[in-house]
Structure 1
Amino acid sequence: MTDLNLAFRLARPGFSLDVSFATSGIGITALFGYSGSGKTTLLRCIAGLEQADYGRLTVNGQVWADDTTFLPSHRRPIGYVFQEANLLQHLTVEGNLNYAIARQRSQNNVIRKQEVVHWLALGPLLKRRSMQLSGGQRQRVAIARALLTNPELLLMDEPLASLDIGSKAEILPYLEKLHSELKIPVLYVSHSPDEVIRLADQIVLLSQGRVLATGPVNEILTRTDLPLAQLEEACACVEGEITKHDREYHLTYVKLKGGTVAISYRAAEPGTRVRVRISAKDVSLALAPQQQTSISNAFPVRISAIAQAADPAKVLVKLDMGGDSFLAQITRLSADTLGLAVDKIVYAQIKSVALMR
């Protein structure tokens, strides 16, 4: 059952929004697009902060907006995390959290204070005031405060955009933890491919106020007709399961649909579900298995598509490995020399695989 269904049309001088999509009631849906694509405007429409010329929004079967209904913002059970934390300066961290609890709008999916404090590791910070916190700490408190309003929908508008690299690295693991703990839908606005790959389950790809595509993360990442595949950092993001560790060589083995890959050792129990990233630039192709090579991750794959890359000297080759798709970015010369064609079986050599979560 789809728990979030929306459509909005809005016309403003120099910009128009015309979007429609549905997504699951659990997990993170990334609204991805570059500046001016309409991400924040869409979020404001969902929050009721912007009244569209036409709007339809249902959450968990409840109508928030349609031809005859417009639920005002203060009656919508949402949590909203902005780019800036906007904490109440005169209150401690605990005071900010208690302020949110006092303003809970829904009795469904009750999120308890001790759970949020644990998820976001706020225990040591509870007695501090906001000016005593780092940027990453302030944003963790802002996320906790949004959650403690007991929302049925969490909106996050580029929550890492104002943070430096160190603060982003600090907060991302907490966002990953929330991904596994929350039982409500999350709409996460970003123009950072790395954030989307690490956090999202679904992507809604926006451009100039329109939806280019929606779907599971890896499906959108590896569609050669979409902009993400044309990026310099084009990659695939596939799910797998840790099977074993090799302590001598400091390796961890992850089983994917079409084979097992070796990554640098990660302390996790066998059976743990993980997400791995395969960069298109780290994949080379051969017509036969290679001997005496330093590349340990090599698999037979089927070519499912070939497309011109943004660089005219290169092509994108979409590969199918047991149902998982990933990309190889190689030169046109190499593609012609190897005689690559759709449905041909080749051998993919993956130089490195990164564990995302």
Structure 2
Amino acid sequence: MIDVTLRHQFGETNLDVRFDAPAGLTVLYGASGSGKTSVINAVAGLLHPDQGRVVVGGNVLGDTAQNIWLPPHKRGLGYVFQEARLFPHLTVRQNLAFGEWFARARAPVASFDHVVEMLGIGPLLSRRPGTLSGGEKQRVAIGRALLARPRLLLADEPLAALDEARKAEILPYFERLRDEVALPILYVCHAPAEVARLATTVVALDHGKLMRVGPAEDVLGDPSFSPQGPRAVGAVLHATIARHHDDGLTELNAGGVSLFVPHIPHPVGQNLRLRIAAQDVILARDVPKEMSALNVMPGHVNDIRLGDGPGAIVALTTPAGKVLARVTRRSALAMGLAVGQPIFAIVKTVAIAPQDIGGPRA
């Protein structure tokens, strides 16, 4: 359990947050300037707030009311930054060993061999950082942080400096880390697809204020809260791989609804969660026929949110879960959309990208 209470004044910005997070991967989510990095730096001891209390697993790392604020090196935390920050003169093995040496007095989170296998860095052990790709460097940085035997792993937008291909390379390793290592993770992120794939819990911030705390499907599926703007609105569904087809598509079962996505390299029966962006959903009042889109979900209108501009967000309840659709206000009025009305949500197969699909925490 992570328990954080912070109050701090930055110029005209007033940071004021309090949240509890269970085990797993907790994402600090919000737009730039929302206070995400300030929160994680306060947890790390790099920022001394005006008022604050940080407790991790029952260990009090800071409590300004009791004049306690441990320095970073005494907190027993691991920190993964946007840049890998490896020692350039040491090999990968030596960089990893430094993490073990630094915290040899604490109980290990995972063995050296397990960390190397989990992160797929065995072939890199004899190489130096200058010969590694950005994704390889970041995997080594994660390994070094784990081998420092932390009680909490902090990650400040660890994929932000990587291109899309390298991000896709790293995401599965964070999923394994979340699911295989008994270690809480506090992860700063502003990308909805990343949040949907990784988060056990989402702490949503806006201009230093706490907006929402809860599972990814609840926070990302809230049509009234979109820190990244309407184009980032989307829903998170849970599904199971039902079948792999010869034409390169994978069929999912989401609450009894069949969904077709580009091939997923996981076995039948694997549980997944996937994000469907609201802008990729089309609405129809009648059962659609003779169209190219393969995914049709029956449901009912649950909520309609009209924006300041020409757009509207329509929340639907379907057997697959909550789905959001971004349509024009004109379309919503022309269709006579109303709460409780039967509706069909249509999603193109190719609209669901591989980076929007990941495994849930067991």
With the length of structure 1 as denominator, give the TM-score of the two structures.
Answer: 0.92
What are structure 2's unaligned runs of at least 5 residues? none
Matches within 5 A, 1:21-100: 21-26=19-24, 28-66=25-63, 67-68=65-66, 69-100=68-99
- The answer to whether the 8 A contact 2:121-2:140 is kept is yes
SS of equivalent to 2:102: coil
Q: Letter of the 2:40 partner, please give it.
A: L
- The answer to whether the 8 A contact 2:31-2:228 is kept is no
SS of equivalent to 1:227: coil
- The answer to whether the 8 A contact 1:77-1:105 is kept is no
1:101, distance to aligned residue in structure 2 (A)? 0.3
1:108, distance to aligned residue in structure 2 (A)? 4.5
> Aligned residue for 1:284?
282
Matches within 5 A, 1:175-214: 175-214=174-213
Identity of aligned residues (%): 39
1:257, distance to aligned residue in structure 2 (A)? 2.3
Matches within 5 A, 1:126-137: 126-137=125-136
1:60, distance to aligned residue in structure 2 (A)? 1.4
What are structure 1's unaligned runs of at least 5 residues? none
CA deviations over 1:19-62 (Å, ceiling 9, x no partner): 11111112x21112222221111111101122212111221122
Counterparts of 1:42 and 1:176, CA distance in 2: 23
> Aligned residue for 2:310?
313
Counterparts of 1:42 and 1:272, CA distance in 2: 35
1:102, distance to aligned residue in structure 2 (A)? 0.9
Q: Letter of the 1:11 partner, please give it.
A: Q
- The answer to whether the 8 A contact 1:221-1:229 is kept is no
> Aligned residue for 1:344?
341
Q: CA RMSD for the aligned pairs?
A: 2.0
- Summarize the Cα distance change of 1:79–1:105 in structure 2 as closer, same or farther, 3 Å threshold: farther
- The answer to whether the 8 A contact 1:7-1:57 is kept is yes
- Summarize the Cα distance change of 1:166–1:284 in structure 2 as closer, same or farther, 3 Å threshold: closer
> 1:252 and 2:247 equivalent?
no
- The answer to whether the 8 A contact 1:288-1:346 is kept is yes
- The answer to whether the 8 A contact 2:257-2:320 is kept is no
Q: Letter of the 1:315 partner, please give it.
A: A
- The answer to whether the 8 A contact 1:77-1:106 is kept is no
Counterparts of 1:174 and 1:149, CA distance in 2: 18
Counterparts of 1:166 and 1:253, CA distance in 2: 24
Counterparts of 1:163 and 1:246, CA distance in 2: 32
Counterparts of 1:263 and 1:346, CA distance in 2: 22
Q: Letter of the 1:280 partner, please give it.
A: A
SS of equivalent to 1:79: strand
1:65, distance to aligned residue in structure 2 (A)? 2.1
1:78, distance to aligned residue in structure 2 (A)? 0.9
- Summarize the Cα distance change of 1:163–1:262 in structure 2 as closer, same or farther, 3 Å threshold: closer
- The answer to whether the 8 A contact 1:302-1:319 is kept is yes
SS of equivalent to 1:232: helix
- The answer to whether the 8 A contact 2:26-2:185 is kept is yes
Greater displacement, 68-77 / 217-226: 68-77
Match of 1:325 among 322, 337, 340: 322
- The answer to whether the 8 A contact 1:221-1:228 is kept is no
- Summarize the Cα distance change of 1:258–1:315 in structure 2 as closer, same or farther, 3 Å threshold: farther
- Summarize the Cα distance change of 1:202–1:106 in structure 2 as closer, same or farther, 3 Å threshold: farther
CA deviations over 1:121-174 (Å, ceiling 9, x no partner): 111111111122222211111111001111111100111222234433332332
